[in-house]
Amino acid sequence: MRMQTFAPTSIDQLQGYLEEDAVPHRRSLALIGGGTALRCGFPLKRECVRVELAGLSRVVDYPARDMTITVEAGICVAELQRVLGTERQRLSLDLPQAADATIGGAIATNAGGSRRLGHGTFRDYLIGMAALDGQGRAFHAGGRVVKNVAGYDLCKLMIGSQGSLGILTEVTLKVRPLPELLEVVLLAYDSSDAVEVALQHMVTTATRPVAVDLFNALGIERLQSLAGLPLPQGRYLLVVVLEGSEREVRWQVQTLLDEMQPTRPIADEAIGPLESAVLMQALTEFTAVAADTPQAHLSVPPSSLSKVVSELNLQGFWIQAHAANGQVRAIFPERWSTGESLPQNWDKVLEVATLVRGQAVLVGGIERIRNHMPVMGHRRDDWSIMEGIKQQLDPHDLLNPGRVRFHS
Report whether pLDDT(383) > 90: no
Residues 104 and 136 in one domain: yes
Residue 403 forms part of a structural domain: no
State which of 142, 177, 212 marks the end of a domain.
177
Residues 33 and 116 in one domain: yes
Query: What pLDDT score was predicted for residue 407?
Result: 65
Query: What pLDDT score was predicted for residue 148?
Result: 54
Alpha helices (runs of H) in 228-340, residue ranges in sequence order = 246-259, 273-285, 305-314
Do the Cβ atoms of 49 and 1 come closer than 8 Å? Answer: no
Report whether pLDDT(363) > 80: yes
Domain that includes residue 42, residue range? 4-177
Residue 153 forms part of a structural domain: yes
Residues 45 and 149 in one domain: yes
Report whether pLDDT(1) > 50: no
One-letter amino acid for residue 344 of the chain? Q
For 282-335, the pLDDT digits (tens) are 999 999 999 999 999 999 999 999 999 999 999 999 999 999 999 999 999 988
DSSP string for residues in 187-231: EEESSHHHHHHHHHHHHT-SS--SEEEEEEHHHHHHHHHHHTS--
Residue 398 forms part of a structural domain: no
Residues 22 and 103 in one domain: yes
Mean of all residue pLDDT scores within the chain: 93
Least confident range of 143-152, 253-262, 338-347, 362-371: 143-152
For 6-30, the pLDDT digits (tens) are 999 999 999 999 999 999 999 999 9
Report whether pLDDT(399) > 70: yes
pTM attached to this predicted model: 0.93
Report whether pLDDT(385) > 90: no
Residue 225 forms part of a structural domain: yes
Instruction: Enumerate the β-bridge partners of residue 239.
Output: 186, 213
